[in-house]
Structure 1
Amino acid sequence: MLNKFKNIQTILFTTYSLIIIIVFTVLVVWIYLWVSDLLRENATDSIYNLAQSTQEKLDLEIQKMDAVTLDVMYSNLVKDLFIEYTSGKTEEQLHASTSKSIPMNNFESSKELADILAIAIGPSRPVDQVYLYDFMNSVYANGIENGHQSYDPTKEDWYKTVTENKKGKFIHPPVPDEKMSKFLSSNQVQYSISLFRLFYDQENVAQGIVEVKQYYNHIFKSIMDYLDRNPNREKIIVFDDSNHIIYPLNMNQSDYEPYITKYSNYNNDDKYTIITNPTTKEKEMLSIKHSQFTRWNVAIIISEKKLLAPLSLFAKRTVFVAILILIFAILLSFFSAKRITLPILKIHRTIRNIRLEDIGYNPTPQQLNSGLNELDQLHLSFINMNSRLKNSMNELLLSQAQELQSKMIALQSQMNPHFLYNTIMTIRIMAEENMNSQIIEMSDNLSDMLRYISSDESLEVDIATELHYTEKYINIHQIRYGSQLQYSFEIDPNMLDLKIPKLIIQPLVENALKFVTRKASPWHIHIVGTITNNNWQITVSDNGLGFNDQQLNLLYEKIEKIEQSKIMPGLKLNGMGLLNIYLRLKLQYQAKMVFRIAYNSNGGASVTIGGFIVEEE
């Protein structure tokens, strides 16, 4: 009973559908993973770049302030005028509020000092206020607020820190600044940030303190502008190394404590880290950049869900489009399978009606008209098959006859006349030298070799027999050359009983001897036999001069010509050793034959032959 699941239409539909599903799924998954990685990387890069750019902008603002302090510090004119201005004052003058109470020389110094500080601030006004303090109670102001004032060092929270910081700057956290607030139209108290440095005379003795001030909103303007454009996206905080929040102002420290605490285990080279919001329990991405210049840390906080929203949208759209395309492809495979099935049924009926007595009868071809060229051609081929079958059978018989003839010629063409000639000449020389025992041994080996070569009882022998007579052949030459010729066998015992074509190893040894004796002795011939994955291989290698390139090219040309024409060449008695072996391996093992020629790394050459192991029934 026929199985409906084994019909052609079902198999084609199932096969096409599986191929489409597998290929399409792999492709979609690969594209999704690739694009999602790009989207995720771009998203994470965005918060990292935002933290980095924000930190750089803050550094730039503080660097502008610091540049003013350095201009003042390194200006000898400013320091000399400040010392001249403060040195001639009495205690009452320090508290005076008008210039009339200042001596004329100090008044001139004050005016020059004001002009120089105005130049130091510059027209772009990187700072809004500059103060010069001495270590008593006198301070000189220039900027929005001008003139001399007095101050109490013991009441200033920054005084001790600045005087103990001999070589560096001190950035004071933001504080309400009522003095500077009155110069703005806003009714709210403005905050300012101050940067302090000590300045020294030419003897490197501290002479006073320089303070520059800038409005808080000016320094953090870039952050404020960004948050105004993105009110529901990132949160940005700035805190110093003491975990004091600098931005935003007047925020509850405990609300941001988890993010600040996370910084202690945060690698500044990392792009981000994952943290759980203590209130909403939502996963958030945290990116922190630390500034060595300001010692401030810029933290960017954003919901992971919001940041990766484009990735989620892409995933949904990808799945939706993929399902639609997959459904369309499966429907297309169904109709394609059905279209192929109908013409095949017609071809099946045609084949079923072909009978043996119709061989040679060529009916008028009938068109299938399936719409598929291949099936139409297949239909015509089956109709004309009976007329071509006879020719094919004749060609097959002819091919078998040629193969048998090639085997017979190969078996009759193995004995190299040079071998007989050299052996007989060696026997003659040994006879003149009364080397009777060697002559007897050589004659016995030669007799055994001739008997083995001329025997036609079987076209195949086991490897053990082939190696036995190969060794006799080598012994004939070793009697002649003595210790100059050395050889070795390394054969897997499991392959000794395998059947191989007769006289297929000895010609390789003969070929090796021909090349190895062209160089100075000693001469080495090594025969190795192995079995791998149901295939046998035998390699004959030597330490001779190697093959001549012209001879190898000629051999390869003959092999290529045989492969293309499929015609066996006429085999000559001499000079056909390697080609003879190739032809017999080709006849015996077809595509599973092994025939390789290679140069050895330490000199000489090697020839490897082999084939598959035929299991005996």
Structure 2
Amino acid sequence: MYLFSIYGLFILTLLCIFFTFTYTHYKNNTIAEAKKDSENLCVSLSNAVTTQLDNMSTISMNIVYSNAIKNNFKEFSYMYRQTGTNPEALIASREKVTAINEIVTAIIGAYQSASEIKLYTMDGSCVEAGYWMRTSNVNLESIEWYEEVMNLNGHKYFTEPSYHQDLPSTEGSSNPKFISLVRMFLDSAGKPEGIVEVVQDCNTIFSLASQIEQSNPGTTVTIYNSRKEMVYPYTTPREEDYYSEIQHSGLKPNNGELITTGNNNSVLLTYESLSEYGWTVIVTKEQEAVYLPLHNYRNMVFLIGGVSIILTMLICFFISQRLTKPLEKLTKATGKITINRVLSEEKVNLTSADSNIRELSILCDSIRNMYEKLRSTSQEVLLSRSEETRAKLQATQSLINPHFLYNSLTNISIMAEEEMNEDIVKICGALCDYFRYITSGQEMIVPLEEEIFYTERYLKCMKFRFGDEFEYKTSIAQETESFLIPKLLIQPIVENAFKYAFCVSPPWRLMIRSYAKNETWFLEIEDNGGTMSNEKKKELIHLYENLNMNEELKSMEIGGMGLKNVYLRLKLLYGENAIFKITNDYPGRTIFIVGGPIYHSREEYYHEHPKL
């Protein structure tokens, strides 16, 4: 019951962390998607408004630069001022107005891309074309835009939305509002000749803004002109001054951000500036609308989380009951593996774990196989001469360290008592893989990927043994994974690090890298022990370079460990092309570098070398 309680509490904590992380991740994604959608809407709306303003500007420029309109307009102005009520002059004046209207109609098209065009002479004569064709006299100085237009000296000026009761709305509104583009045009001498006004329905200019608000609940659009006047919405102005919020918060264009306005409303705000016209398009979305997709997800998470917790607690109770007893038996069985019993002629049978858990059964079988191999190998070693006996004993001890195995299984037992069941499964799997690899066939060369895989199984065992005091990393170039290298090449160097380099205080770090260069593969095994002096490095290199190959190879086999055997096997496999280096140039680090020619298949190697 104690194991179940601790293990269940541990799993419950993990589930809570998982669901909290998932919900936070989904929340961040929701905000990111909302920002992206808002930015896309803002760009689309800016393009649509720019298109409408460009259309009005193009119409005004076509009129200003139309010689036909200007000539007819000059003649109309002259006749209109000079002829009074002369019938013939009035008819001629009327003809000029008709000609102007026809040209304007050709410019704005049959579908009238502008609601109305007005041409003013500098003395107040006005010709209207488009929806209406009429003339009138106006007092230009009384018009609110007159002074601004004169100061701009030919540049465009946009008015605020205003009512035009005599013009129809594109949407049939009873009180339509329109925006005018007004600019002065000059004669060849640069003197004011007249003023052109292009009138456009606000429903046309801001049609996309209305559609966006209708199809996206909680989303609002606000547009300011170059004078910071709100031109949309043009019916009822908004209470929020979003333009001031942009200035105060220092937001960047087309970069959505969640802000709190002066009225304490939280909104997602995105804006875009129309550089050519000085207008600002702002798209806002209420925070409640942004977080709306999270509500259903949160309910789903609570439901799945509750069910998962209940099922997990039941599974924890069942697993905890099945783990403890087999592990206790396995620990007692491995305690019988001593050097005296291995060398004894009397055979000692190891107790079975009697477990239905596949990993524990495999581990038990691996231990039995290892024990039998140790016995058979040890008996052969005893028949050899004394020097060969010592070498064979060292090889068998390096093949698998019973003391290390005993410690590992003791750790498993302790971990079971502490209810670390997931770690138990992992260390059992790693030990099984490790035993299976070192007791497998007699191939001298294996793919680098396979060697790295089983080296990591060994390192995982050491990781479970030393915990946070030991860390390791691998950086294997993908192109080198299929290269064939000597079997059990890396582990002796790793063993050397644990025996000699890691005598300093933890943390201990180990790094394994692979790469290819100039048709040669390289492996670097780096430790942070930093205990190898220059004198020791030179001594080792000198010793290995002067080994008697014929004498040393007599005691050489695949299970042999130690730096010397690594050097000998590299020389045996690759001859003068073998690479074995030691560098301690970096403070606190020692790097062993080994390598050899690249072979992609055993056939390719055996074609050039005899099989060993």
The alignment's TM-score, normalised by the length of structure 2, stands at: 0.58
Structure 1 residues 540, 32: CA separation in 2 closer, same or farther (over 3 Å shift)? same
Where do residues 461-500 of structure 1 align in structure 2 (5 Å cutoff)?
none
1:343 deviates by 4.3
Q: Is the Cα–Cα contact under 8 Å of residues 171 and 294 in structure 1 kept in the other structure?
A: no
1:210 corresponds to 2:210: no
1:180 deviates by 1.3
Q: Which residue of 2 aligns with 1:66?
A: 57
Where do residues 341-420 of structure 1 align in structure 2 (5 Å cutoff)?
341-344=324-327, 370-373=355-358, 375-376=360-361, 394=379, 401-402=386-387
Where do residues 35-74 of structure 1 align in structure 2 (5 Å cutoff)?
35-74=26-65
1:56 deviates by 2.0
> Whole-Å Cα distance in 2 between the matches of residues 405 and 346 of structure 1?
33
1:227 deviates by 2.4
* 1:564-612 C-alpha deviation (Å, 9 max, x unpaired): 15399xxxxxxxxx969979xxxxxxxxxxx9635999xxxx9999xxx
> Whole-Å Cα distance in 1 between the matches of residues 554 and 240 of structure 2?
81
Where do residues 46-445 of structure 1 align in structure 2 (5 Å cutoff)?
46-90=37-81, 93=84, 100=87, 102-181=89-168, 188-230=174-216, 232-251=217-236, 255-257=239-241, 259-265=242-248, 266-269=250-253, 271-279=255-263, 281-318=264-301, 320-344=303-327, 370-373=355-358, 375-376=360-361, 394=379, 401-402=386-387
Structure 1 residues 214, 537: CA separation in 2 closer, same or farther (over 3 Å shift)? same
1:537 deviates by 3.1
Identity of aligned residues (%): 19
Q: Which residue of 1 aligns with 2:472?
A: none
Structure 1 residues 326, 151: CA separation in 2 closer, same or farther (over 3 Å shift)? same
Greater radius of gyration (CA)? 1
Q: Any stretches of 5+ residues in structure 2 without a counterpart?
A: 393-499, 501-526, 569-578, 594-612
> Whole-Å Cα distance in 2 between the matches of residues 541 and 364 of structure 1?
46
> Whole-Å Cα distance in 1 between the matches of residues 326 and 56 of structure 2?
88
Structure 1 residues 315, 91: CA separation in 2 closer, same or farther (over 3 Å shift)? farther
Letter of the 1:304 partner, please give it.
Q
Q: Secondary structure, in 3 states, of the residue corresponding to 2:315?
A: helix
Q: Is the Cα–Cα contact under 8 Å of residues 366 and 380 in structure 1 kept in the other structure?
A: no
Structure 1 residues 282, 148: CA separation in 2 closer, same or farther (over 3 Å shift)? closer
Superposition RMSD in Å = 5.2
Letter of the 1:124 partner, please give it.
Y
> Whole-Å Cα distance in 2 between the matches of residues 283 and 304 of structure 1?
6
Q: Is the Cα–Cα contact under 8 Å of residues 47 and 287 in structure 1 kept in the other structure?
A: yes
Where do residues 23-42 of structure 1 align in structure 2 (5 Å cutoff)?
31-42=22-33
Match of 2:556 among 557, 562, 577: 562
Structure 1 residues 283, 388: CA separation in 2 closer, same or farther (over 3 Å shift)? closer
1:386 deviates by 10
Structure 1 residues 324, 248: CA separation in 2 closer, same or farther (over 3 Å shift)? same
Q: Secondary structure, in 3 states, of the residue corresponding to 2:166?
A: helix
Structure 1 residues 566, 381: CA separation in 2 closer, same or farther (over 3 Å shift)? closer
Q: Any stretches of 5+ residues in structure 1 without a counterpart?
A: 408-498, 500-530, 569-577, 584-594, 610-617
Letter of the 2:319 partner, please give it.
S
> Whole-Å Cα distance in 1 between the matches of residues 381 and 6 of structure 2?
39
1:537 corresponds to 2:533: yes
> Whole-Å Cα distance in 2 between the matches of residues 345 and 406 of structure 1?
35
Letter of the 2:277 partner, please give it.
T
Structure 1 residues 348, 107: CA separation in 2 closer, same or farther (over 3 Å shift)? closer
Letter of the 2:29 partner, please give it.
L
Q: Which residue of 2 aligns with 1:483?
A: none
Count how many residue pairs are aligned between Structure 1 and Structure 2.
439
1:539 deviates by 3.7
* 1:381-440 C-alpha deviation (Å, 9 max, x unpaired): 899999988757646756994368669xxxxxxxxxxxxxxxxxxxxxxxxxxxxxxxxx
> Whole-Å Cα distance in 2 between the matches of residues 228 and 162 of structure 1?
36
Letter of the 2:114 partner, please give it.
V
1:312 deviates by 4.8
Q: Is the Cα–Cα contact under 8 Å of residues 336 and 350 in structure 2 kept in the other structure?
A: no
Letter of the 1:282 partner, please give it.
N
The alignment's TM-score, normalised by the length of structure 1, stands at: 0.58
Q: Is the Cα–Cα contact under 8 Å of residues 234 and 302 in structure 1 kept in the other structure?
A: yes
Q: Is the Cα–Cα contact under 8 Å of residues 51 and 288 in structure 1 kept in the other structure?
A: yes
Structure 1 residues 276, 78: CA separation in 2 closer, same or farther (over 3 Å shift)? same
> Whole-Å Cα distance in 1 between the matches of residues 547 and 113 of structure 2?
84
Of stretches 79-88 and 389-398 in structure 1, the one that deviates more from structure 2 is 389-398
